[in-house]
Structures are given as structure tokens and as C-alpha cells.
Chains A and B, each alone.
Chain A
């Protein structure tokens, strides 16, 4: 199972960042051709990203390209650069409906055939940035077998909802987070929480990471390299969680050897969901 905790945004028109972002070891790196690039530089950024995708430094890291909206003058050109550059994933911004995902998937299939890529090799993901997108989250998440994740994008969503970030427990994002996460889990795909905009506020960032982690998000979209390590540390299981998971697995193994059904550990029943959770905790201990 691919571990996806961190998806690091890298502006597509910035060679300094394109040339070094891999050193921060995010789980996925997202070359951005949308909001980070001014309209007059879209053509040049598209070529930079096309070549950066094929740079050997990025061979072993999942590469995502955020394209412009398909119906903009840039969208299809961005998509062709991404598919031809052998991006692993195309991220569609401002996704409001399943039709938008199906249209994207159809273009991806056409381009894969045109440039000789294996059919189905290019995955897609959708960023949910509006009330419509949240309401349609399940339809979006299940719109194509190419879908590997959905991401909630907070800024545009909150503008659409006529509200703003409040800090603290962030009640303004609760429904959207829950809806997007449920859609992802029902579709068996990954879910990314919103990006945190204040890169100098570690405390606020970690508070938000904790919310995302406890809700069950796979990870977050990140806008600054220094957030990668903070996120990975916060998502790592604690020693107490690891010790307990190891005891659960050992107990389950012993029960299996002795032909027992359900057993208990410290008074808690050890059944398949508990064993599955322990395996998940241990799997996360093996990633940096």
C-alpha cells in the first residue's frame, strides 16, 4: 500500500524549487501549473514541469501535476504535458461534479494512447473546493477507476461558504472534512486534508495536522518544504501505540496457532478490526 501523508506543492515556474524539492522527501510531490503560475508564464512553466517530471531525481517519488481547469485555455495543454512527461497522477482543481472527473479520465485515456503509455497507468485525483464539490464528493470519488484520492482545498471552499478560518477546532471545515473523508473511504481511495497557509506557525499547523490525523485523513496538502518533516513526525505512531500493536499481533498469532477464536488483551477483545488497526500502525512505523 502506497503511503501518502504529504503532498508537497512546488510552483511549476520555479526552477530552484523544482530542482531541489525531492530532498525533503515528501510522499508525493505536486508540480503546480495552476494558481502558482501567472497566465503569461503558463507556457514556460508547462515545459519546465514536463522536463522536471523526467529528471532522475524524481524517479522514485510519486509525481503529481496540478493542471488548470480543463475548460480554460491552458487545461488540455497542461494535461498533455503531464501525461507525456509520465506524471503518476493528474490533480484536477475545483472539481464540482463526477462529470468533470469522467471528462478528465477520457482525455487522459486518449493521451496515453497517443504517446504510447500503458492504458490506465496515469491516475487522477480531484480537489474539492466548493459547496457543490463537497455535496457531490461520493460521486466524484467513484467517478473513475483512475481516481486515487480526493483533496479538500480550504481557501476556495470557505469563500464559497461565506466564512473564513477561525483557528482552534475549525468548525467551519468540519462538515466538508467529514464528507470528503467518508466519500474517500467509501470509494477506497485516499483523502488529503487542506493546506495550512501560515508557514511560520508550527503550532497552528500541528494543531490542524492532529485534527486531520484523528479524523482519519491519509495526510495533507503542503505548501512549504518545512511542513513535510513536521507532518511525518506527527503522523508517526507513538512508542506506546507501537508497543501495543506488537502485543496485539503477537497475541493474535498465538491464538491462531492454538486454534482459538477471539482472545483478549488487557481486557480488550482482539478481533479482526483490532488486528487490522495494529497492522496499520506497524506499517506506518516503517516509513520515515
Chain B
């Protein structure tokens, strides 16, 4: 899957997160996580995002996550939504979302 434009998904409401996805000019995958609970859950958030991107076969993108205490399922859902928007894809390959 190829990221072709900038896109965001989610909100900055409590228990949610805002995910920004953009093309990466250096051809790398950069994931930046900002969270008030970064010390306790930073690794888990990073891991959930990385796994989700891997399943979607995203290897080149800049992904910035502003977490507001979201649970794992919400992180995966918001990352998926932002990626699908950034890739301008209408149809979902559900096998890559599970």
C-alpha cells in the first residue's frame, strides 16, 4: 500500500488519539508517539501502530500519533483509518485489518 497524501484520523478527545500520516521523502517508516502516559504505555502504543502498519504493508510513511489514553483497539482502528485515507483507498482488505 502506498501513501500518496497527508491524512488524519481520530480526535484529541479523552480515550481517543489523533493520527497523522504523510508520505516520507526519505523512503523510511517513521513513527512518532506523543502521549501523557508515554512512560507507562509508550512502547505498547508504538508496537500497536507498527503492527498495524506492517499488516497494511506500509513501509514508507511518517506517522505521528497524539494519544489521549486510547485503548489498543482504538489505536489500531485510527491508524488504519488514517492510512486508508492517505492511500486514497475506498475498498478495504479485511484480512489485513484483523
Partner of A52, one of B73, B78, B84, B97: B73
What separation, in Å, do the CA atoms of A126 and B79 have in the docked complex?
33
> Which residues of B are found within 8 Å of A115, using beta-carbon distances?
94
> Which residues of A are found within 8 Å of B62, using beta-carbon distances?
none
Complex interface residues of chain A between 48 and 98 (CB less than 8 A to chain B): 48, 50-52, 54-55, 77, 80, 84
Whether B13 lies near A16 (C-beta < 8 A) is: yes
> Which residues of A are found within 8 Å of B94, using beta-carbon distances?
80, 84, 115
A142: shortest Cβ distance to chain B, in Å?
A: 32
Residue of B nearest to A55 (CB): B73
Residue of B nearest to A73 (CB): B90
A38: shortest Cβ distance to chain B, in Å?
A: 12
What separation, in Å, do the CA atoms of A21 and B26 have in the docked complex?
43
> Which residues of B are found within 8 Å of A84, using beta-carbon distances?
94
> Which residues of B are found within 8 Å of A51, using beta-carbon distances?
73-74, 76-77
Residue of B nearest to A115 (CB): B94
Whether A50 lies near B77 (C-beta < 8 A) is: yes
What is the interface residue range for chain A against chain B? 10 to 19
Binary CB contact string for chain B from 7 to 21 against chain A (1 if under 8 A, 0 otherwise):
001100111100000
What separation, in Å, do the CA atoms of A278 and B94 have in the docked complex?
48
What is the interface residue range for chain B against chain A? 20 to 34
What separation, in Å, do the CA atoms of A19 and B16 have in the docked complex?
10
Whether B84 lies near A19 (C-beta < 8 A) is: no
Partner of A16, one of B14, B85, B92: B14
Whether A50 lies near B81 (C-beta < 8 A) is: no
Whether A50 lies near B84 (C-beta < 8 A) is: no
Residue of B nearest to A48 (CB): B77
Whether A47 lies near B71 (C-beta < 8 A) is: no
Cβ of B29 within 8 Å of any chain A Cβ, yes or no, is no
Complex interface residues of chain A between 243 and 281 (CB less than 8 A to chain B): none
Whether A50 lies near B97 (C-beta < 8 A) is: yes
Cβ of A163 within 8 Å of any chain B Cβ, yes or no, is no
Binary CB contact string for chain A from 25 to 64 against chain B (1 if under 8 A, 0 otherwise):
0000000000000000001100110111011000000000
Partner of A15, one of B15, B85, B92, B97: B15
Partner of A47, one of B13, B14, B97: B97
List 4 other contacts, CB 8 Å, given A47-B77, A47-B97: A15-B16, A18-B74, A44-B77, A52-B77
Seen from chain B, the residues whose Cβ lies within 8 Å of a Cβ on chain A are 9-10, 13-16, 70-71, 73-74, 76-78, 80-81, 84-85, 92, 94, 97
The 4 closest A-B pairs by CB, nearest first: A16-B15, A51-B73, A44-B81, A47-B77
